[in-house]
Amino acid sequence: MSREAENALLLLVGVATAMITTGGAYTRYVKASLLPWLTVTAVIVIGLALVSIVADIRRGSAPDDDHGGHSHRGSVAWLLLVPVVVLIFVTPPALRPGAAAPKVTAVSTEVLRRPFPALPDGRAPEVSIPDVLIRAAHDTAGTLNDRLITVIGFTLAETDGVDLGRVVIICCAADAQLARIHLRGPAAAELRNYPEETWLRVEGTVTPGKADGDSTSIPTLQVQSATRIEAPANTYA
Amino acid sequence: MRTVRLPESASMPVLVAAVVACALLGSTLRAAVYDSEALSTAGTVFSGIFVQALPFLALGVVLSALIAVFVTAERLSRWLPRRPAAAVLAAAASGAALPGCECGSVPIARRLFGEGAVGAAALTFMLAAPAINPVVVVSTVVAFPGQPQMVFARVGASLITAIVMGLAWSRWGRTEWITRRLPRAIDGQASRWHTFTEAARHDFIQAASYLVIGAAAAAALHVVVPDWLMAHLAGQLLLGVLVMAVLAVVLALCSEADAFVAASLTMVPLVPRLVFLVVGPAVDVKLFAMQSGMFGRAFAIRFAPATFVVATAAATVVGVLVLGQRA
């Protein structure tokens, strides 16, 4: 591959990074907190490509020091076309629950029981599903007890009823896992009519558990009300 | 278009044509991927691994380019202890200073690589840095609360792997396996800025291209490896160790995330999970691809399997000693 083509691909990789970062699609692949680093990366890669292109034009010809006959400049750089095409033209969707490992969540089994900070004030503060799981399993202060909370997730049909799920990623989509809670109570019965993976905002109270540090037991939410909503921009929790 | 060899001069028009074709076919490609569950999962996992690695790769090539400007092989060998064993130990300890995942440390190690003790030290650094740096240690502490022995076992087994591989290289390693040469600023008068940008450009293109192979392999394996595998590992130490070691290679998780994944595999005993944490940062499909890109295939096909065996053995022994047979 020629030097200009390599520079052009380098530029395209930088542009692809910038596009998924500014367009928000990056949250389908990595944690939202990676935003500043992706921005810096896009600037570095685009800058590197522009500097190389400008330097080659000013020089009038590419420097010889990395040809030198023995150079391994081969065709491997063509592979960079793959992420460019995938990220710019295809932009794969966020993971569906079926693709996430079917286990509870990212917390471990034997954990120090400790009191958690109280939930925010308000009638029904929003709590993420992983947070519900962690508090239900490990919270000795009982911050979930007798509190109305709001959770957001998608429906997962089960034999005994409906579960509310959320895909959790820790670093990138390669380590995705599925977090779920049971939805129960009279108000939950009609949720069975929704198709799989309907996004819901649910208000309810978590049935007090034992907080015994067993993260494999799935907590149950007694539903008071449930509203159908659009899928959030960042579908991961 | 300048007159270079024919295939090279054709590459720019071919590239333009390929990009235009993809732009025209974009919606068709997109529909094909979105319609197939396996393709969209593979596409998302590929993008996840690639995008996640990019910032670390950018940091890595900036550091490796600084090394190209300021650290010559002679200077490095003056800094390092003369005896290979001491140099390897120093390199293992300095691995703690590079926060980040494993993708960044491959280009850095390639720049640091040199004859004799310097080569062994560079490889030790490459294996140690992603496993024992502060970010990884902290995420392991968070993922395994109340189990500090897991953290000590991980750091210990990873250090042993890095040191053993460094010593093995200084004893049996042959520089002719390193078939990939780095472009050096030959003519002495090249400005530091020019040397810096050329080194960063070369290292980024080289490492990122091979990262594409590794991410694609990991994405394909993600779709293929069945979920029920884990459920059958309880109570089977040897089988568990082997499966988790292979899984670490094929899943190619970043070393900052693997502790959380290991923590969530609650039905697998602790020792196989430790093996997962020690093997993953040292050798996986994406690292193998990147090593063959930066060092050469002859190097990678010897180094990666040897690392796999050493890491698995070190983690198993340390695990049984430190963690015992507890589940």
Distance CA B215, CA B252 (A): 8
Q: What is the DSSP letter of A30?
A: B
Quick one: pLDDT at residue B7? 65
- Listed residue (B179, B72, B59) closest to B108, CA to CA: B59
Distance CA A36, CA A43 (A): 11
| HSE of B150, CA atoms in CB hemisphere, 13 A | 29
Which helix (H) or strand (E) segment holds residue B309: the answer is helix B297-322
Looking at the predicted structure, is the pLDDT value of residue B18 above 90? no
Residue of A nearest to B7 (CA): A1
Quick one: pLDDT at residue B229? 65
Percent of chain B predicted with pLDDT > 70:
88
Stretch B87-110: mean pLDDT: 82
Residue of B nearest to A106 (CA): B264
Residue B178's CB is within 10 A of a number of other CB atoms, namely 17
Least confident of A35-49, A145-159, A165-179: A165-179
Stretch A35-54: mean pLDDT: 94
Q: Is the dihedral of CA B98, B103, B108, B109 positive or negative?
A: positive
CB contact under 8 A, A112 and B145: yes
Tell which wins on pLDDT, A33 or A170.
A33
Which residue do the tokens 């394996």 mark?
A: B221
Quick one: pLDDT at residue A50? 95
Contact A31, A99 (CB under 8 A): no
Residue of B22, B180, B209, B277 to mutate, interface with A, max A Cβ within 10 Å: B209
Least confident of A72-76, A120-124, B4-8, B292-296: B4-8
Looking at the predicted structure, is the pLDDT value of residue B164 above 90? yes
Closest in A30, A45, A72 to B48, CB measured: A30
Residue of B212, B253, B277 to mutate, interface with A, max A Cβ within 10 Å: B212
- Listed residue (A52, A16, A93) closest to B33, CA to CA: A93
Residue B184: is it exposed, middle or buried by C-beta count within 10 angstroms (0-12/13-18/19+)? middle
CB contacts of A197 in chain B (<8 Å) are none
What digits encode the pLDDT tens for the residues B111-146? Answer: 888 777 788 899 999 999 888 887 788 878 877 877
Confidence grade of residue B270 (pLDDT, cut at 50, 70, 90): confident
Residues 3-22 of B with CB under 8 A from A: 4, 8-9, 11-12, 14-16, 18-19, 22
What digits encode the pLDDT tens for the residues A80-128? Answer: 999 999 999 999 988 877 666 544 444 443 444 566 778 888 888 888 8
User: What are the structure tokens assigned to A24, written together?
Assistant: 């928000």
Distance CA B51, CA B148 (A): 31
Closest in B46, B51, B256 to A26, CB measured: B51
Contact B239, B275 (CB under 8 A): no
CB contact under 8 A, B265 and A103: yes
Residue of A50, A65, A116, A236 to mutate, interface with B, max B Cβ within 10 Å: A65
Residue B149's CB is within 10 A of a number of other CB atoms, namely 17
CB proximity B206 to A under 8 Å: yes
What is the residue type of A226? A
Closest in A90, A108, A109 to B29, CB measured: A90
Distance CA B49, CA A231 (A): 24
- How far lies A152's CA from each of A28, A119, B234, in Å? 17, 16, 34
Confidence grade of residue A33 (pLDDT, cut at 50, 70, 90): confident
Supply the ipTM of this predicted assembly: 0.80
Quick one: pLDDT at residue A213? 56
Stretch B204-228: mean pLDDT: 78
Residue of B5, B14, B51 to mutate, interface with A, max A Cβ within 10 Å: B51
Q: What is the DSSP letter of A87?
A: I
**pTM over cut 0.80:** no
What digits encode the pLDDT tens for the residues A68-83? Answer: 333 445 677 888 999 9
Quick one: pLDDT at residue A192? 84
Stretch B290-308: mean pLDDT: 92
Could you tell me which residues are beta bridge partners of residue A152? A201
Looking at the predicted structure, is the pLDDT value of residue A13 above 90? yes
Which residue do the tokens 């007890």 mark?
A: A145
Contact B128, B90 (CB under 8 A): no
Q: Which CATH class is domain A99-228?
A: mainly beta
Least confident of A58-72, B86-100, B105-119: A58-72
CB contact under 8 A, A86 and B43: yes
Tell which wins on pLDDT, A232 or B229.
A232
Looking at the predicted structure, is the pLDDT value of residue A212 above 70? no
SS3 A223: strand
- Listed residue (B253, B246, B245) closest to B219, CA to CA: B253
In chain A, residues under CATH classification 2.40.50.140 are 99-228
Quick one: pLDDT at residue B231? 62
Contact B318, B160 (CB under 8 A): yes
CB proximity B31 to A under 8 Å: no
Which helix (H) or strand (E) segment holds residue A154: the answer is strand A148-158
